[in-house]
Amino acid sequence: MTIYAVRVTSERHRQQRDPDRKRDRASKDGLVSRFTARQALWAVLVVLALWFVFSNGQSVEVKYIVGDTTAPLWLMIVLAIGVGMLLDRALVLRGRRKRRAD
């Protein structure tokens, strides 16, 4: 909701600076046409991840190489998702650099 308010405000300021502007993107295109399939997929994935995290509230035993501890399962899930996202970004960037070098 906040992003929409900021977008409308910026369009309003553009119209004030240039009143003869022929195309008002905020009202003509609308936000529905700007919601892409990629954004929809991310929204679904975020909702599923949140549902999965909040439905697993019990504590689990986590064993490390040098010891073990007890932690909430939701915390372990969030950490696993975060590490996975970081590894994904690192591998994608590495692949892009490798392609540019070729």
pLDDT tens digits along 13-44: 555 666 555 554 555 555 555 778 888 998 99
pLDDT, tens digit, 9 for 90 and up, residues 41-76: 989 988 998 888 788 889 999 888 888 999 998 888
What is the pTM (predicted TM-score) of this model? 0.48
Domain residue limits, the chain: 1-35, 50-102
- pLDDT band with cut points at 50, 70 and 90 for residue 93: confident
**Cβ proximity of 71 and 59 under 8 Å:** yes
How many angstroms separate the Cα of 32 from the Cα of each of 26, 29, 35, 45, 89?
11, 8, 5, 19, 28
